[in-house]
Chains A and B, each alone.
Chain A
């Protein structure tokens, strides 16, 4: 099976969907001429021209508003915010306009907008450039939020996002762009809202998303060497996350760990844990463990930054606590 990087999988999904659907346009800061600050949109300007792929000024709020208006006018905009950190500048347009307009206007408008943004830390980019902001979007009714962990998932989820008739926040991870993975020649759009069991196991369930899926898999491999068989579930979609699949896994293993790069307060881990207590309390051998990012802005110093991000050791320790 062919291998693609996460970056190229996203690039291919954009190109394939744009060839398939003429109403898809791509815009953002430096996406056209510069081919993207992370080179994700490489080749798109050459392939599709300036009419469909264009650069914007540094105007995050207006980038999102423009996507919303273009969608109202019948297009399917695929806007890029250069990093998720800059989404803070656009939060009113994302959460107070795009997310709620269909509902507020009594269902009269369809807003097929995809907003791509890479996030995450670990490259010493400093506090303002290292956020994981998924929780803000996951908390917002009207949005769908996806966070692919692998190249094939990136391609499948982006296809799904671009074909979906409502707003999708598509969260890439900067640390995954060079990750290679198997991607079939033909990739069907993913089902938004469906989790993926990445590794089957019987002794504990490790629930993760985005870059943390790889931390979870690394932990599971080392645990296996010690006779602990961990199941790894990739949420893939964060809103709505797949409660049935996660509950079914934890009902089987009776132990759950959630791994999130973001800090724990009111996070995905908290929501997963609460739902597990509500759904399958009697199946749990003990409290759901959360392995989360540190509750501080990410510092620059390499050692300090690494201390903020969950590693396989932290996940292994959490699993061992439950056994």
Chain B
């Protein structure tokens, strides 16, 4: 990969990580209510999975979606404004943390029901195939989703109809406080996916290079009409399931082990060794990230919610 591209990757991962830190700060200050699920630690999965997408491909995912939205090309200001519930948020303040959406960047949401978006991804694939397009649908979900009934239905239908979907399972080993070992009779999520008769790949989701390499091949193969493919990306979330979760079900040793595999320093080290780039280049990117995020918070602070007399708008297409 070229130096410029890798620095872009570094920027995106720092931006995602930084955004989540800012969201945590704002949440503690009471500016953000409800649930707030942070992506910190998993950045290589989202950046790696989306790196080889075209702008006209479709992306859909779970409630841990701030990073999906931003990495897909969404405006961090509109993301923060959405967290604040303001009308200039990407969902006009009506969605909140779990329901980011922006059709202009082909990001189709943010869903709170585990695996609920999987059959919707099937539908996106049906639309693509119907119009004989070569778009790809990328659908993110977690380890917990693989036990939901509708997940099974969606996997089966995607393979049966040979739909252009790349299924990205972010296996961070926990569904809130329940580990994969305690939830899935078949611990290997890849093995479960193989039952649907589609190509299945397992990858280190803490390594951007491996993630983008596996995703690149899967995306190309799906785009060429080979039917859906499944990627199990083993990764780790550094924070709790949500801001309300102290994460006491994970040992300090385990968390520390995964922190030592932080995808961002790993990427930085790889770039430095391949391209002999000094600290200034990275510091400049870090400063730029801070500027963007400062601006996002300022933008969110300056906005306001929709007034209650607009409560009934957009319930029906005629209103």
Instruction: Enumerate chain A interface residues (CB-CB to B < 8 A).
Output: 25, 51, 56-57, 59, 61-75, 77, 92-93, 96-97, 101-110, 112, 141-142, 144, 164-166
Contact flag A65-B118 (CB < 8 Å), given A51-B130, A142-B316: yes
Q: Are the CB atoms of B103 and A109 closer together than 8 Å?
A: yes
| Smallest beta-carbon distance B61→chain A, Å | 13
Q: Does B287 contact A (CB under 8 A)?
A: no
Q: Are the CB atoms of B119 and A104 closer together than 8 Å?
A: no
Q: Are the CB atoms of B109 and A69 closer together than 8 Å?
A: no
Residues of A within 8 A of B123 (CB): 65-73, 77
Residues of B within 8 A of A102 (CB): 314-317
* Candidates A73, A97, A101, A106; contact of B58 at CB < 8 Å: A73
Interface string of B52-92 (1 = CB under 8 A from A): 00000010100000000000000000000000000001111
Other than the given A66-B119, A93-B150, A106-B101, 9 more pairs (CB < 8 A) read A57-B157, A59-B157, A66-B123, A70-B123, A96-B116, A97-B120, A107-B313, A165-B318, A166-B318
Q: Are the CB atoms of B154 and A62 closer together than 8 Å?
A: yes
B residues 112-135 touching A (CB-CB < 8 Å):
113, 116, 118-128, 130-131
Chain B residue at minimum C-beta to C-beta distance from A77: B123
Residues of A within 8 A of B99 (CB): 104-105
**CB < 8 Å A-B pair total:** 143
* Candidates B103, B110, B153, B313; contact of A62 at CB < 8 Å: B153
Which of the listed residues A77, A103, A141 has the most CB atoms from chain B within 10 Å of its own CB?
A103
A69 to B149 Cα, complex, angstroms? 18
A108 to B101 Cα, complex, angstroms? 8
Q: Are the CB atoms of A104 and B149 closer together than 8 Å?
A: no
A253 to B7 Cα, complex, angstroms? 77
A101 to B108 Cα, complex, angstroms? 10
A300 to B32 Cα, complex, angstroms? 54
Q: Are the CB atoms of B119 and A69 closer together than 8 Å?
A: yes
Contact flag A25-B315 (CB < 8 Å), given A104-B94, A105-B95, A109-B103: no
7 A-B pairs closest in CB distance: A69-B123, A73-B127, A65-B119, A106-B92, A107-B314, A62-B153, A59-B153
Which label, helix, strand, loop or mixed, suits the secondary structure of the B interface? mixed
Residues of A within 8 A of B126 (CB): 25, 66, 69-70, 73, 75
Q: 18 A-B Cβ contacts within 8 A?
A: A51-B130, A57-B160, A62-B156, A66-B122, A69-B122, A69-B124, A70-B123, A70-B126, A70-B127, A97-B111, A106-B92, A106-B94, A106-B95, A107-B92, A108-B102, A142-B316, A144-B316, A166-B316
* Candidates A59, A65, A75, A104; contact of B120 at CB < 8 Å: A65
Residues of A within 8 A of B121 (CB): 69
| Smallest beta-carbon distance B74→chain A, Å | 12
Chain A residue at minimum C-beta to C-beta distance from B90: A106
| Smallest beta-carbon distance B27→chain A, Å | 20
Contact flag A62-B119 (CB < 8 Å), given A93-B150, A107-B314: yes
Residues of B within 8 A of A56 (CB): 157
Q: Are the CB atoms of B316 and A97 closer together than 8 Å?
A: no
Q: Are the CB atoms of B109 and A101 closer together than 8 Å?
A: yes
Q: Are the CB atoms of A109 and B150 closer together than 8 Å?
A: no
Residues of A within 8 A of B150 (CB): 61-62, 65, 92-93
| Smallest beta-carbon distance A293→chain B, Å | 30
A67 to B110 Cα, complex, angstroms? 18
A164 to B319 Cα, complex, angstroms? 13
Residues of B within 8 A of A165 (CB): 317-318
